[in-house]
Amino acid sequence: MKTNPVRSAVTEGRVQIGTWINMVRNPAILPLLKAAGMDFARVDIEHASPSIETVADMALLARALDFPIVVRPPAANREWITRLLDAGVWNLHCPQVDTAEQAAEIVAASRYAPMGSRGMTGPSGGTDFESGGTPKERLAFANEQVFVTVMLESGGAFDHLEEIAAMPGIDALTLGPTDLAQDLGVYGTPEMGPALDERRDMIIDAAKRHGKTVAMMVNSVEEARRWRDAGVTLIGYTSEVQVLQDGYRQVVKGIRE
């Protein structure tokens, strides 16, 4: 079975740069992003519409390219976690995690015994259709490759930040900026930036205390450098939708002038 490049990179402390995929369904987006120098792609199926078949196709190609995808499911529950892992997705970006109990359920669904109770299956995209080694060795290796990021998206989630950060099997922490801002009552106001930065700092501090990785979405190179220098390892630069729209908008403006 192949190893997960995301896990290898963060273990070595190497900053990884990726982007959201919200609209493009063609798996060819993956070699394109790799050729552009990116390290991973984050596929959204919470707020976007790709099917599980599309994600499975992308996961298969991602493993062949050694260019990993991270997937945000509609819900971080056993049903979605099982399907994504068995399809060949290593990296889960779990939304709306508010309590330690939710985090524990995610760990249980994503890891085989004795760490969890992930559902058993035969050869699949999640095992690269390999069956070498003993069953115990295969399960232990699979557990090591899975990488779970949890998203704190409500003010109440930060009441449980320490418990979530301390939990074995939770590998990385992040926040959902707009949902969190909405919950805090600061969305679209001058207070939004400072309120989110305060929570970002809380996440970074908790991750350092518990030896976890931090992921952060950014919308500019300046933001990326700022959070990289603060210790963020997984940097998600906006989305393919925003890059396309901004690029064409700038070109059209230039031509019309």
Instruction: Find the angle CA(233)-CA(170)-CA(127) to the nearest 5 degrees.
Output: 90
Token pair in block for residue 88: 């060949």
**For every residue of 47-102, which 3-state class applies, written as one string?**
CCCCCHHHHHHHHHHHHHHCCCEEEECCCCCHHHHHHHHHHCCCEEEECCCCCHHH
pLDDT in tens, 4-25: 999 999 999 999 999 999 999 9
What is the distance of C-alpha 225 from the center of its chain?
19
Residue span of the structural domain in which 48 resides: 5-256
CATH number at residue 107: 3.20.20.60
Average pLDDT, the chain: 96
Catalytic annotation, residues: 47
Residues 60, 86: Cα–Cα separation, whole Å? 11
Token pair in block for residue 126: 């999640």
pLDDT in tens, 169-194: 999 999 999 999 999 999 999 999 99
Predicted local distance difference test score (pLDDT) of residue 198: 98
Query: Domain tally for the chain?
Result: 1
Predicted local distance difference test score (pLDDT) of residue 1: 86
Give this prediction's pTM.
0.95
